Structure 1
């Protein structure tokens, strides 16, 4: 596995909720806001603010089939993007509790 994919997997494995984001993205902001309001402890990495951000985004695309941000994982499972997270709003408290993120 490439170092980039290893880094992504480590972030996913070490955090109950991982959000691959961009600081200027309104959808990323909405997703992080919903997680915050839900009381989630989450790890967000801003791909536009790290040197290997574009490589990480490419590798995420290969791993998940999703090339856009936010790219969200809860309990090591790929949730999808903001619209996927918003659609799970009703299940979010249970998902977060099961992941140990609240």
Structure 2
């Protein structure tokens, strides 16, 4: 397994909510805002601000088939991107509580 894939999987495994993001991305911002509004504790890695960001993005595509950001996990399950997260608004409080993120 590549170092980036190991790192990405570690972030997913060790955090109730993991958001792979880019700091300038409006969709990422919308996802982080929604999670914050719900009081979620979440881990964010801004892939445009780390040296291995491109490698992490490639690794995520290998792991879940999604290359775009945000790339969101709750309780180690791939949620998808901002559209999918926003679409789960009604069930998010329960999902976050189950994951131990609130």
- Post-superposition Cα deviations, 1:22-43, rounded to whole Å, max 9, x if no partner, equal 0000000000000000000000
Q: Distance in 1 between matches of 2:85 and 2:77?
A: 12
Which residue does 2:6 correspond to in 1?
Answer: 6
SS at match of 1:78: strand
Cα distance in 1, alignment partners of residues 29 and 60 from structure 2: 19
For structure 2, which runs of at least 5 residues remain unmatched after alignment?
A: none
- The equivalent of 2:48 in structure 1 is 48
CA deviations 1:30-64 (Å, max 9, x no partner) are 00000000000000000000000000001101111
TM (norm. structure 2) is 0.98
Structure 1: which 4+ aligned runs deviate by more than 6 Å? none
Question: 1: distance between equivalents of 2:64 and 2:30?
Answer: 21
3-state SS, counterpart of residue 45 of structure 2: strand
Distance in 1 (CA, whole Å) between partners of 2:13 and 2:62 is: 18
Distance across 2 between alignment mates of 1:66 and 1:2: 17
Structure 1: any 5+ residue segments left out of the alignment? none
